[in-house]
Amino acid sequence: HPAIISKEVFQKVQEEIERRAKMQGCTNETRSRHSNKYTFSGKLICGNCGSKFRRKRWGQTEKYKKYVWICVNHANNGNEACDMKAVDEEKLKAAFVGSINKAIQAKDTFIKTMIENINNVLESRREDAELQEINTRLEELKEQMLNLVRLNLRSELDSLIYDEEYQSLEQEMQELKQRKAAFDNTELIRDKALKKAEEIEKLLSSRQELLKRFDDYLFTEMVEQVRIVSLVEVEFIYKTGLVIREIL
């Protein structure tokens, strides 16, 4: 069975994926999956400092050459900035093969866990204390605005005082509605995540045999990021937010 990371880690990963998607706008949807020169480009993240990795060739001759991936922060600023060592590209590929083969062997459990995690995390978003606080305050503001209008009808408040009070309440309400909008798209996020889970399920179902070598297409379609935990350990973060840890 896949080495499933905790719900808390899954949630943090999902939030980070959403944050990055918002920052990038629609570029992830329109950009070609082949736009990066190398399969791992932009996917590898340093577990120490959060920097990306870049590819480097080691060995001067064809016989001894190999490709490694190096933390950009380490490469530019040395060990004091980040002591993460270079990671062998072939070991990364082998680790993904191991990861995806676990998913193929336990595809039913893999898909079930993905869907459960999606539902659990989004359910927790609905019950988020901040959202409850926003809703409570919005109801209070509505009542205050109604009371202000009633008071004005009865007492004919000074127009400047009335406008100032009303605008103050309205401004706070608009700010809260903007914050609430981040929670109101929960169903949209869920549908998108479930759609991706279905795509992954189809990919896995079409695989009757274990993967024998690295598959660029499978990796690109299924993996959001790879967190380099150490020289000997990585975490594959799938596009549904599921995390599987592998030994290099």
Q: Based on the domain organization, do 110 and 129 belong to the same domain?
A: no
With CA atoms as reference, report the closest residue to 88 among 42, 60, 119, 53.
Answer: 53
Nearest to 32 by CA among 199, 220, 194: 220
Q: Are residues 72 and 137 in the same domain?
A: no
Same domain, 185 and 239: no
Is 110 domain-assigned? yes
Considering the domain architecture, whether residues 82 and 197 belong to the same structural domain is answered as no
Residue 1 lies in a domain: no
Distances (CA, A) of 82 to 52, 87, 226: 12, 14, 18
In a domain, 119, yes or no: no
> In the chain, how many domains are there?
2
**Within-domain flag for 191:** yes
Same domain flag for 189 and 221: no
Q: Is residue 209 one of the residues assigned to a domain?
A: no
pLDDT number for residue 185 = 67
Whether 48 is in a domain gets the answer: yes
Q: 12 and 135: one domain?
A: no
Considering the domain architecture, whether residues 47 and 103 belong to the same structural domain is answered as yes
For residues 67 and 98, membership in a common domain is answered with yes
How far are the Cα atoms of 7, 31, 155, 173, 178 from residue 130, in angstroms, in the given order?
Answer: 19, 34, 37, 15, 13
12 and 95 share a domain? yes
Q: What is the mean pLDDT of each run of 10 residues along the chain (248 residues)?
A: 50 55 47 62 95 92 89 94 95 94 82 75 63 86 89 82 87 87 69 78 79 91 93 89 86
Please check whether residue 94 lies inside any domain of the structure.
Answer: yes
- pLDDT value at residue 34: 39
The predicted structure's pLDDT at residue 128: 62
Residues 79 and 145 in one domain: no
Instruction: With both helix axes pointing from N to C terminus, report the angle between 107-126 and 89-105 in degrees, rounded to the nearest 10.
Output: 90
71 with 184, same domain: the answer is no
Does residue 22 belong to any structural domain of this protein?
yes
Instruction: Report the pLDDT value the prediction gives residue 134, as an integer from 0 to 100.
Output: 86
Q: Say yes or no: 24 and 101 in one domain.
A: yes
Which residue segment(s) compose the domain that 237 sits in? 7-114+214-247
